[in-house]
Amino acid sequence: MSDAAQLLLGQVRSHVRTGLRPLVEQIDRQGLYPEAWLRELGALGGFAALAQPEQGGSGLGLATQIELMAAVGAECGATAFTLWCQGTFAWYLRQSGNPVARERYLPQVLRGELLAGTGMSNTVKHLSGIEKHLLQAEPEAGGYVVSGSLPWVSNIGEEHIFAATAQLGEGGYVMFVVRGNAPGVTLKPCPEFCALEGTRTLNVRFDQVHIPFADVLAQPNEFNAFLGRVKPGFILLQIGMALGVIEGSLKLIRESNLTQCVTNAWLDDQHDDLQEELDALRVQTRQLAQQAEAGTVEILPVLQARLHASELSLRAAQSAALHAGARGYLMRHAAQRRSREALFVAIVTPALKQLRHDIAVLTAANPAALVPHAAAAGNGVAGRQRADAEQDPARQAPCVATETPAV
């Protein structure tokens, strides 16, 4: 990491300690959305690593942005997720072939003056054959008209913008930017979640919403290539959230071991073992991020790293709760929050089960491509069934979910 990146990381950590730490309980238990803190983070340069200076960014790169997310997630996983939304939107703009949209929105997003979400969960699952596409578009003069609904989109509001994709009746997809207060867009509250209530997650309905060509990120003839460019960064940025949740869980383990180290030694996932895995995941993620920046990354190792991030988050958070003992079962104990945050890491699109499915499909023709971690599917009946499915993806029964978390 460069000196400039280290300096920025130190500034962000200080901002986390002084501004975010006092808000964590309100974010988690009362659904506080830390909008002012996010805008201050943008003013510090906390979103700017994803673009070059001539685009209004710092040029520090995707790997640095992932580390900034981890620094935030080490204190609050929910707020790290809002950074993912903001950062992923900036990543879309950077990869778009539409200079009008990029110049109109990117500098404001990088500075945190314009907060942004991403409604791509449905599309990502649809393209893996998991669910039907929820937004439909028809061409009209000067753009498209979009109708449909997305059940859950995060980091949005009436004054925010977000990205989404609609399916055209004649085939193909168009990806676009839309404001929360655009004519025909309705934002409604969602059912209460067990965690991440402080992420401004809302239901979005489109009723004949006009999308001008100026706000199109990818036209139908550009969509496949565009998705291929954005997908690695989309997924790798999520690992930043996971790294933070894991770091926070390891901190709880260290604190518990100050008084319970003898009995805690009987637990399966010990601090040093988890730390070693975290360090290796961090190195792997940085390498993949550098390849993604260069446009040379393969999607399979990205999916495998993301899967490992989900599994390690779950193990670390559970271990933190078990290390804490009865205190870890108290609702006010941080281990409870970490457990719920880790579960979110594993279910947000692409969810753990989708990652395993997609990895199985990609490796069916080339089993040697499966890295040792992914090949170790687990012991017992469930592990054997998963290993069998990885050898023959056709054995996996298709299903269609009607409501799943959107991002």
Report the half-sphere exposure of 92 (CA within 13 A, side-chain side): 28
DSSP reduced 3-state for 150 = strand
Residue 232 parent element (H or E): helix 223-264
Q: Note whether 211 and 218 are within 8 A (CB).
A: no
Q: Note whether 118 and 187 are within 8 A (CB).
A: no
CA-derived radius of gyration, the chain? 21
* pLDDT at residue 63, rounded to an integer: 98
Q: Which two tokens stand for residue 77?
A: 């996983």
* pLDDT at residue 330, rounded to an integer: 80
Tell me the H-state helices in 96-148.
99-110, 121-127
Phi, psi of 166 (to 5 degrees): -120, 150
Closest of 399, 275, 404, 269 to residue 323, by C-alpha: 269
* pLDDT at residue 407, rounded to an integer: 42
- Taking the C-alpha atoms of residue 198 and residue 220, their distance in angstroms, rounded to an integer, is 35
- Report the chain (407 residues): mean pLDDT per 10 consecutive residues: 94 97 95 96 97 94 98 97 97 96 96 95 89 95 97 93 94 95 93 76 95 98 96 97 98 93 91 97 98 96 98 97 87 89 94 94 77 43 43 40 38
Q: What is the pLDDT of residues 326-362, one digit of tens each?
A: 888 887 888 899 999 999 999 998 999 999 999 999 9
Tell me the H-state helices in 111-222.
121-127
What CA dihedral angle connects 271, 276, 282 and 284, to 10 degrees? -150
Q: Note whether 289 and 236 are within 8 A (CB).
A: yes
Q: Which two tokens stand for residue 371?
A: 């890295």
Angle between helices 35-44 and 77-95 (to 10 degrees): 50
Phi, psi of 59 (to 5 degrees): 75, 15
* pLDDT at residue 332, rounded to an integer: 83
Q: What is the pLDDT of residues 26-46, one digit of tens each?
A: 999 999 999 999 999 999 999
* pLDDT at residue 376, rounded to an integer: 40
* pLDDT at residue 365, rounded to an integer: 66
* pLDDT at residue 276, rounded to an integer: 98
